[in-house]
């Protein structure tokens, strides 16, 4: 599924759809070059789950946890990941055991299991998202208007 993201309102709307469908154990990979809109989409997903405060980019902390009603969500940014073992130290498996994870720069590590892959880009035709994932994520398509 391909979705145009011409402005932040479009990113918020996509975040609301993904956020609404998010369940424990879900991994959402946010892929794309610097500035493609990965953090903005993570922010939109967290906002949709009721996060009111600041949602900083976890560029330096690598991971930021959020308690949302009914679901713990860990927001990762693997850009500065030095070696794959670091990810285990940051508790991704545990994060997925008791909640969901949003992962920027997923290609920096070998991530476990199934995931919703969101490929963000900002080309001459504007910003867009390409979504790909297991069948259960087809709910995003049905929610499309
Ligand atoms: N859909 C969008 N429309 C307009 N600006 C956007 C959109 N998505 C992101 N931006 C802006 O682009 C810049 C980079 O976004 P960011 O989410 O930090 O990128 P990334 O995390 O992929 O490096 C920010 O200033 C952000 O507000
Ligand atoms: Mg970012």
User: In this structure, which ligand is nearest to the CA of 121?
Assistant: 1
Q: State which fold the 2-134 domain adopts.
A: Rossmann fold (3.40.50)
**CA-closest residue to ligand 1 atom 16:** 37
Higher-pLDDT residue of 137 and 144 is 137
**DSSP code at position 87:** H
Q: pTM value?
A: 0.95
Element (H, E) at 119: strand 116-123
Residues 6+ apart with CB under 8 A from 128: 2, 3, 4, 5, 120, 121
* Closest ligand 1 atom to Cα of 77: 21
pLDDT the model gives residue 143: 59
**Cα-to-centroid distance, 116 and ligand 2 (Å):** 17
Residue whose C-alpha is closest to residue 41's, from 108, 137, 122:
122
User: Residue-wise over 47-58: b if at least 16 C-beta within 10 A, else e?
Assistant: bbbebeeebebb
pLDDT tens string 31-81:
999 999 999 999 999 999 999 999 999 998 899 999 999 999 999 999 999
pLDDT tens string 73-111:
999 999 999 887 888 888 899 999 989 999 999 999 888
Is ligand 1 within 6 A of the CB of residue 14? no
**pLDDT level of residue 134 (50, 70, 90 thresholds):** very high
Q: What is the DSSP string of 25-69?
A: T-EEEEE-STTSSHHHHHHHHHHHTT--S-----TTTSEEEEEET
Is ligand 1 within 6 A of the CB of residue 39? yes
Is ligand 1 within 6 A of the CB of residue 64? no
Residues 6+ apart with CB under 8 A from 117: 29, 31, 106, 131, 132, 133
**Cα-to-centroid distance, 30 and ligand 2 (Å):** 9
In sequence order, the β-bridge partners of residue 76 are: 63, 103
């Amino acid at each position: 599924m391909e979705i145009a993201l011409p402005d932040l309102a479009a990113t918020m709307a996509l975040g609301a759809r993904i956020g609404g469908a998010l369940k424990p154990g879900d991994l959402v990979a946010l892929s794309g070059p610097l500035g493609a809109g990965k953090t903005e989409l993570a922010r939109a997903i967290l906002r949709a789950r009721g996060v009111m405060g600041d949602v900083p980019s976890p560029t330096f902390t690598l991971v930021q946890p959020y308690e949302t009603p009914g679901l713990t969500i860990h927001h990762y940014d693997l850009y500065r990941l030095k070696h794959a073992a670091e990810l285990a130290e940051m508790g991704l498996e545990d994060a997925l055991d008791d909640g969901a994870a949003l992962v920027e720069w997923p290609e920096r590590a070998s991530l476990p299991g199934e995931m919703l892959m969101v490929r963000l880009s900002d080309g001459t035709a504007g910003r867009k998202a390409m979504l790909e994932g297991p069948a259960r994520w087809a709910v995003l398509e049905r929610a499309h208007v």
